[in-house]
């Protein structure tokens, strides 16, 4: 195989030398580990469903993994200006999809979150998250560039619209994730701590209202505070499954993952802990921490306020989602159905995370041979 040279002027060679390769290496390792863990979790999950094969979930994950990898590569070729345009289009398209979900989709476990297209289901809110980060970062950057432009007010309005649609589904977990990311972007954009504190107080008020007016949210919070309740069955099984793995894992010997609902999706971290032990569980946590930290460090060196805000927000999106998923599995957070990026089974989540990472690479790679400044620093 011919080695890539810096003298090679092919598109792939230019991409290789301009992309942040440490981030790419960490991401590749997460994807490989995710598929290995899903191979272990898939058969027990498939056994609960009649008429499907033992490797139903790993095979379907591969079907979505191929376009996800293509999406990451294709988006990496974009200039920051093109990435910004795409992100805004995706955001408003996903908001329209969320509206369609509220109007026409049926309820699943008391929530409306999915659009059903033939044999596939799509969760528009997953794609709205990276789109929101891009759109909000653009407005915050425009406000910083021109104090007369109400960029901050527009960005707050976009957040309010997105948050309202999430709460109407209702999806308090995704709302909390978006709110945390929004607070990080506020900080990077240089807004005062007073605004961040106001956002925190408003969020606590919304959570309190959710506890009072939503039986589902109240049950999750009460179950977190009182382990052993009926509502915490999945979380209790997840903790037991992780503990059963010990230091180096048990494999299929005395496995408890068969009793764990959603072992292939929301609680796949528990399967990783049981099958491969405490060592792999810690390694997965470190990989997400290093990936998020690396991307944020690269963002800090960017000259564009838009790129700084957007890349930091996109990295926080992946990092916070991993924290929430792992925290629920360890009973450190109230139960919330949220996937572990690139590891949990799920087509919408996989494609949306691929969109997130592709936008990160597009905004962080070095751009040589581009002579129009606006293409590099919108």
CA distance 27 to 319: 12
DSSP state of 49: S
- pLDDT above 80 (res 374): no
pTM score above 0.75? yes
266-296 confidence digits (pLDDT tens): 999 999 999 999 999 999 999 999 999 999 9
- pLDDT above 60 (res 355): yes
**Average pLDDT for 358-368:** 87
pLDDT tier at 170, thresholds 50, 70, 90: confident
**Average pLDDT for 228-234:** 65
Residue 1 is predicted with a pLDDT of 47
SS3 368: coil
Q: What residue has token string 């990989």? A: 287
**Average pLDDT for 230-258:** 78
Q: What residue has token string 């921490």? A: 289
Residue 204 is predicted with a pLDDT of 77
CB-based burial label for 44 (10 Å; 0-12, 13-18, 19+): buried
Q: What residue has token string 């505070």? A: 225
Residue 254 is predicted with a pLDDT of 58
Residue 3 is predicted with a pLDDT of 63
SS3 10: coil
- pLDDT above 70 (res 54): yes
- pLDDT above 50 (res 371): no
Torsion of CA 313, 317, 318, 323, to 10 degrees: 120
DSSP state of 104: H
> Residues with Cβ < 8 Å from 354, sequence gap 6 or more?
67, 68, 69, 71, 72
198-215 confidence digits (pLDDT tens): 777 777 777 777 667 666
pLDDT tier at 325, thresholds 50, 70, 90: very high
The H or E element spanning position 276 is: helix 268-300
305-321 confidence digits (pLDDT tens): 999 999 999 999 999 99
3-state helix, strand, coil in the chain (%, to 5): 70, 0, 25
User: Do residues 339 and 266 touch, judged by C-beta distance below 8 A?
Assistant: yes
Residue 9 is predicted with a pLDDT of 67
Residue 12 in tokens:
């792939």
Cα separations (Å) of 369 from 2, 84, 301, 358?
24, 20, 20, 21
């Amino acid at each position: 195989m011919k080695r890539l040279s810096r003298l090679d002027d092919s598109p792939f060679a230019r991409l290789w030398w301009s992309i942040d390769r440490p981030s790419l290496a960490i991401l590749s390792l997460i994807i490989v580990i995710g598929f290995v863990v899903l191979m272990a979790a898939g058969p027990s999950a498939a056994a609960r469903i009649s008429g499907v094969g033992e490797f139903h979930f790993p095979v379907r994950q591969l079907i979505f993994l191929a376009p996800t990898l293509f999406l990451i590569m294709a988006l990496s070729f974009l200039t920051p200006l093109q990435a910004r345009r795409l992100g805004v289009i995706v955001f408003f398209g996903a908001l329209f999809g969320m509206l369609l979900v509220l109007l026409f989709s049926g309820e699943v476990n008391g929530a409306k979150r999915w659009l059903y297209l033939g044999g596939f289901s799509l969760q528009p809110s997953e794609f709205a998250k990276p789109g929101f980060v891009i759109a909000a970062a653009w407005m915050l950057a425009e406000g910083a560039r021109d104090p007369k432009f109400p960029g901050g007010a527009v960005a707050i309005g976009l957040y309010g619209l997105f948050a309202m649609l999430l709460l109407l589904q209702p999806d308090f977990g995704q709302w909390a994730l978006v709110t945390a990311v929004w607070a990080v972007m506020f900080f990077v954009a240089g807004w005062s701590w007073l605004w961040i504190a106001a956002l925190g107080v408003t969020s606590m008020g919304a959570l309190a209202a959710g506890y009072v007016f939503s039986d589902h949210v109240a049950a999750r919070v009460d179950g977190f505070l009182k382990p052993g309740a009926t509502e915490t069955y999945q979380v209790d099984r997840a903790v037991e499954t992780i503990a059963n793995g010990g230091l180096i894992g048990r494999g299929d010997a005395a496995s408890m993952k068969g009793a764990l609902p959603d072992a292939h999706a929301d609680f796949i971290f528990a399967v990783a802990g049981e099958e491969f032990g405490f060592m792999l569980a810690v390694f997965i946590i470190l990989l997400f921490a290093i990936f998020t930290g690396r991307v944020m460090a690269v963002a800090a060196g960017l000259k564009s306020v838009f790129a700084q805000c957007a890349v930091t927000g996109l990295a926080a999106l992946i990092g916070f989602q991993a924290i929430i998923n792992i925290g629920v599995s360890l009973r450190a957070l109230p139960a919330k159905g949220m996937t572990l990026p690139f590891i949990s089974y799920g087509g919408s989540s996989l494609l949306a995370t691929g969109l997130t990472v592709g936008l990160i690479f597009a905004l962080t790679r070095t751009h040589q041979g581009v002579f129009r400044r606006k293409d590099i620093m919108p």
